């Protein structure tokens, strides 16, 4: 999959700022530093389209990226960043949940967890919240390059068990592009774009 045409479309903190074109959207959510912005860059074949950082808390607003004028990738700020105040965490909830809950064109959410760690309380809450609102989502285990190949299955099985999920997460690495094709196929399917040849 080669993406020729992608760019930042808009940055928003409130529904008034979200795109009004009605194009399908896929969103990436997860703990700060889990690799959401890096995954978007790897999927789109760009190095620095979505801003990344070693410091958690890099993405602070909701960023929409156009992809071939057919869909948007939505980069969300992460949660569970210890240095933000209570009022800032509350703002996160309002902003992100407000987006996720009221968005008919949102065709799939990718919930990212680090392949090396057991999902935390925030991950579990979000997982339950998706089920409760019946939102379409897929689990992704990021940074798969950080563990030995022989350990991947053990780690994804543990994540599945801790969340009580039906399916194990898809291993993904922004460095090696592991999982890129699987995610693309889910994205195009979810957006009704399976015929798209890029
Ligand atoms: P926030 O915007 O703070 O919520 O973080 P984020 O989830 O967008 O994480 P980001 O993509 O900025 O990545 C955080 C750090 O993890 C950066 O130093 C990345 O280089 C590193 N990283 C992300 N994905 C991978 C990966 O697949 N493999 C490795 N080895 N490092 C990764
Ligand atoms: Mg980010």
pLDDT in tens, 56-99: 888 889 999 999 999 999 999 998 876 667 777 788 888 898 99
Whole-angstrom distance, CA of residue 159 vs CA of residue 176: 21
Q: What is the pTM of this model?
A: 0.96
Whole-angstrom distance, CA of residue 56 vs CA of residue 80: 9
Whole-angstrom distance, CA of residue 167 vs CA of residue 182: 14
Mean of the per-residue pLDDT values of the chain: 93
How far are the Cα atoms of 33, 69, 88, 101, 143 from residue 39, in angstroms, in the given order?
11, 20, 25, 23, 9
Ligand 2 center–CA 38 separation, angstroms:
7
Whole-angstrom distance, CA of residue 18 vs CA of residue 99: 9
Residue position matching structure tokens 């700060």: 32
Check if 41 has its Cβ closer than 6 Å to any atom of ligand 1: no
Pocket test for ligand 1, best of 38, 75, 177 (most atoms within 8 A of CB): 38
Whole-angstrom distance, CA of residue 178 vs CA of residue 30: 19
With left for phi above 0 and alpha for psi between -120 and 50, is residue 177 left, alpha or beta? left
Whole-angstrom distance, CA of residue 110 vs CA of residue 187: 10
Residue position matching structure tokens 């530093």: 33
Residue position matching structure tokens 């780690």: 155
Ligand 1 center–CA 34 separation, angstroms:
5
Q: What is the pLDDT of residues 140-185, one digit of tens each?
A: 999 999 999 999 999 999 999 999 999 999 999 999 999 999 999 9
Ligand 1 center–CA 37 separation, angstroms:
7
Burial tier of 28 (Cβ tally within 10 Å: 0-12, 13-18, 19+): buried
Ligand 1 center–CA 195 separation, angstroms:
31
Pocket test for ligand 1, best of 52, 89, 92, 149 (most atoms within 8 A of CB): 52
Instruction: For the chain, list the domains and their CATH numbers.
Output: 6-190 (3.40.50.300)
Radius of gyration of the chain (CA): 16
Residue 108 belongs to what H/E stretch? strand 106-114
Pairing of strands 71-75, 62-67: antiparallel
Closest atom of ligand 1 to CA, residue 173:
27
Give the number of the ligand closest to the Cα of residue 38: 1
Q: How confident is the model at residue 49 (pLDDT cuts 50, 70, 90)?
A: very high
């Amino acid at each position: 999959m080669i993406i020729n045409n992608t760019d930042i479309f808009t940055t928003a903190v409130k529904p008034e700022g979200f795109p009004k074109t009605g194009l399908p959207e896929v969103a990436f959510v997860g703990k700060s530093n889990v690799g959401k912005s890096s995954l978007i860059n790897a999927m789109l074949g760009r190095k620095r389209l979505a801003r990344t950082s070693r410091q958690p808390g890099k993405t602070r607003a909701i960023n929409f990226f156009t992809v071939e004028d057919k869909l948007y990738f939505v980069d969300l700020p992460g949660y569970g960043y210890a240095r933000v105040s209570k009022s800032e965490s509350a703002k996160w909830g309002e902003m992100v949940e407000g987006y996720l809950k009221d968005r008919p064109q949102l065709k799939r959410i990718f919930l990212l967890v680090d392949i090396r760690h057991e999902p935390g309380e925030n991950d579990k809450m979000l997982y339950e919240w998706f089920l409760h609102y019946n939102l379409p989502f897929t689990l992704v285990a990021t940074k798969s390059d950080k563990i030995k190949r022989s350990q991947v299955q053990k780690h994804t099985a543990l994540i599945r068990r801790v969340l009580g999920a039906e399916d194990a997460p898809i291993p993904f690495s922004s460095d090696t592009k592991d999982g890129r094709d699987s995610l693309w196929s889910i994205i195009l399917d979810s957006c009704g774009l399976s015929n798209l040849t890029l």
